[in-house]
Amino acid sequence: MELKEQKHTATLSYYLGTWANSNEKARLIDSFTFFETDGELRMTIKNSETGFYKNDWGTGLVKPHSYGPDTHDIVAFQAHFSREDIDAFLAINENKGLLIIAGYITFKNDEDRSDCFVREFFRKQ
C-alpha cells in the first residue's frame, strides 16, 4: 500500500485490520481498525464499555511516521479526532508486537471534567 502523503513506499499491510485492547476494563478504547481508502490510512474506534467516553468517534485520518527522515520503516502513527464534545490527539507507536496509544483528550464546554491522558496497549486480532 502506498499512501498519498508518504514520500517513500512502505509496507503497512501488517498494521491493517483490527487491534484489541489488552485490558478488559479499558479506560477509553476497546478496539480500533486500520484500513486503507483511496491511498489514505484511516481508523475507526470502538469505545470501551467501561470507559469514560461513550459517543461516536467517526472515522479518522492516520499519518504514519518512520524513525527518521531517511528511513522507510513505519513505527508510529498520529491521528486526530475532533468531535462536538472532544478533541483527541492519538500518538500510536509499535513496541514488541503491540500498538500503544497515548491519547490526549480535551473536553469541549465541560467544566466538570479535566482534560486527560490515556495510555492503552493493543494486540492484533
Range name among 24-28, 53-57, 95-99, 108-112 with the lowest pLDDT average: 108-112
pLDDT of residue 72: 80
pTM confidence score: 0.89
Asked if 103 and 81 touch (Cβ cutoff 8 Å), the reply is no
**Segment 49-70, tens digit of pLDDT:** 999 999 999 999 999 998 898 8
Radius of gyration of the chain from its Cα atoms, rounded to whole angstroms = 15
Query: Would you say residue 124 has pLDDT above 60?
Result: yes
Identify the structural domains of the chain with CATH numbers, from first to last. Answer: 17-124 (2.40.128)
Cβ atoms of 69 and 78 within 8 Å: the answer is: no
| Mean pLDDT along residues 20-37 | 97
Q: How far is CA 98 from CA 47, 104, 112, 117, in A?
A: 19, 19, 33, 19
**Are the C-beta atoms of 45 and 56 separated by less than 8 Å?**
no
Q: Which of 3-12, 30-39, 84-93 has the lowest mean pLDDT?
A: 3-12
DSSP 17-61: EEEEES-TT-SSEEEEEEEEETTEEEEEEEE-TTSS--S---EEE
How far, in Å, CA of 1 to CA of 120, rounded?
Answer: 27
Q: Higher-confidence residue: 8 or 52?
A: 52
